Amino acid sequence: MDEQSLYIYILHSTKSGKYDVGRSSNPVRRLSEHNTKPFNTYTSKFRPWELKAYFYCGKDEKMAIKLERFIKQQKSRKLLTQLCNPSFLAGGFLAQLVRVPHMRD
């Protein structure tokens, strides 16, 4: 992964069924941080997390922030499950997201 490239990631809590959306230059590292950081945060309460999907969104941080906020503002579990589905093609504002093929364990 190119450290300058930005990604939108979707995490799913196997414990609670909750989703979390974020942005990072390294979503795999970010997943590890969500699962191991000793701080008492929102995501620490619902561990363990799985990386369900992530999308390349370029090198423009302002655009990555807009995309992340847009997804979060929808407050839609349906949208998140659709985005996690590899065969789903997003339209409209989200059409610019480029799905990164899921990495094997």
* Amino acid, res. 41: T
Q: Is residue 104 part of a domain?
A: no
Q: What is the pLDDT of residues 2-14, one digit of tens each?
A: 669 999 999 999 8
Domain that residue 23 falls in: 7-99
What is the pLDDT averaged over residues 71-99?
95
Q: Is residue 84 part of a domain?
A: yes
Name residue, tokens 């450290």. Answer: 3
Q: Is residue 1 part of a domain?
A: no
- The structural domain count of the chain equals 1
User: How large is the greatest C-alpha to C-alpha distance in the chain, in angstroms?
Assistant: 38
> What CATH code is carried by the domain that includes residue 76?
3.40.1440
Inter-residue contact 14 to 50 (CB < 8 Å): yes
Q: Is residue 87 part of a domain?
A: yes
Please report the pLDDT score of residue 50 as a whole number. Answer: 96
Beta-carbon count within 10 A of 87 CB = 6
